[in-house]
């Protein structure tokens, strides 16, 4: 087990006397960011870590991601793990019941075609169609951010009450209005086994800030991975440091 956690800004381990609920982003938090979203590396140690934590926290563990739940399942292969996908537009509780937001679907269908045409014009762009949201990845054309933002803003401007644009690390997401990672966290925290537990959320990107705000309002532990502005109260440097911190917590939970 790794014990070399960089201590600067690193969170203390959660108090043993308290009941905790753990929420985790995936990309850039549990796995390193890579050139293409299909190429992330999920190994057996990560799966085991998540299963052990779910067990030790009485099921109160959920992955909160921008990815679709089907995509999360394809990589994580943990079909009984609670999840929220597509920034809160998709949700699966610990009993395996799934729901997906539909109000904005027609508007998204109309915009989808336009984005597709945009992508056809440029090999360096990659469109990830998640069903209830769209992600346009531009990691291979990093200077295209401003241009793409303008184009996408003009595509969704006809649907101000239904669609919104979010910018992440070399990705733009078009998603249903009113869904974000904070909404996803609140939804879990309203039901068993998450209710009445103090939340911990670990994330690395701008869209995780909504989750951090919810956690801060409940005096939980908001942990930002990496650098950059954040409302989170502490930091870990990278996914390896997240693994080390979680492993240290597992050891403490197993002892108590």
The residues of the shown chain that bind Mg ion, judged by CB under 5 A, are 25, 27-28, 204-205
Provide, rounded to whole angstroms, the least separation between the CB of residue 39 and Mg ion: 15
Provide, rounded to whole angstroms, the least separation between the CB of residue 15 and Mg ion: 26
**How many Å apart are CA 196 and CA 198, to the nearest integer?**
7
Toward Mg ion, which CB reaches closer, 92 or 224? 224
CA nearest to 188, candidates 46, 75, 50, 22: 22
Polymer length of the chain: 256
Provide, rounded to whole angstroms, the least separation between the CB of residue 204 and Mg ion: 4
Provide, rounded to whole angstroms, the least separation between the CB of residue 106 and Mg ion: 29
Provide, rounded to whole angstroms, the least separation between the CB of residue 181 and Mg ion: 10
In the chain, count H helices and then E strands. Answer: 7, 12
Q: Active-site residue numbers?
A: 25
**How many Å apart are CA 77 and CA 83, to the nearest integer?**
12
Q: What share of the chain is helix, strand, coil (3-state, %, to 5)?
A: 40, 20, 40
User: Do residues 21 and 198 touch, judged by C-beta distance below 8 A?
Assistant: yes
Beta strands in 45-196 (DSSP E): 61-64, 82-85, 90-92, 98-100, 126-129, 133-137, 163-168, 171-176
Using a 10 angstrom Cβ sphere, with 0-12 exposed, 13-18 middle and 19 or more buried, the burial of residue 187 is: middle
User: Do residues 138 and 170 touch, judged by C-beta distance below 8 A?
Assistant: yes
Using a 10 angstrom Cβ sphere, with 0-12 exposed, 13-18 middle and 19 or more buried, the burial of residue 175 is: buried
Toward Mg ion, which CB reaches closer, 170 or 250? 170
Give the residue nearest to Mg ion (CB).
28
Toward Mg ion, which CB reaches closer, 173 or 204? 204
Backbone angles phi, psi at 234, to 5 degrees: -150, 175
């Amino acid at each position: 087990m790794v014990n070399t956690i960089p201590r600067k800004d690193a969170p203390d381990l959660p108090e043993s006397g308290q009941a905790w609920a753990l929420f985790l982003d995936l990309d850039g938090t549990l796995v390193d960011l890579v050139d293409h979203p299909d190429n992330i590396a999920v190994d057996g140690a990560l799966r085991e870590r998540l299963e052990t934590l779910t067990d030790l926290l009485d099921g109160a563990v959920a992955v909160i991601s921008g990815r679709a739940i089907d995509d999360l399942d394809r990589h994580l292969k943990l079909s009984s793990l609670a999840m929220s996908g597509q920034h809160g537009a998709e949700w699966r509780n610990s009993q395996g019941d799934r729901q997906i937001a539909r109000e904005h679907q027609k508007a998204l269908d109309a915009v989808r075609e336009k984005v597709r045409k945009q992508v056809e014009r440029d090999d360096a762009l990659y469109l990830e169609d998640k069903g209830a949201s769209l992600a346009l990845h531009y990691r291979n054309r990093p200077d295209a951010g401003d241009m793409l933002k303008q184009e996408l803003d003009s595509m969704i401007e006809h649907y101000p009450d239904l669609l919104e644009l979010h910018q992440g690390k070399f990705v733009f997401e078009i998603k249903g209005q009113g869904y974000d990672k904070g909404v996803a966290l609140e939804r879990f925290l309203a039901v068993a086994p998450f209710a009445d537990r103090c939340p911990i959320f670990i994330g690395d990107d701008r869209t995780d800030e909504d989750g951090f705000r919810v956690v801060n309002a409940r005096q939980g532990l908001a942990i930002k991975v990496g650098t950059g502005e954040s409302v989170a109260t502490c930091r870990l440097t990278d996914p390896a440091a997240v693994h080390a911190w979680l492993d240290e917590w597992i050891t403490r939970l197993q002892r108590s």
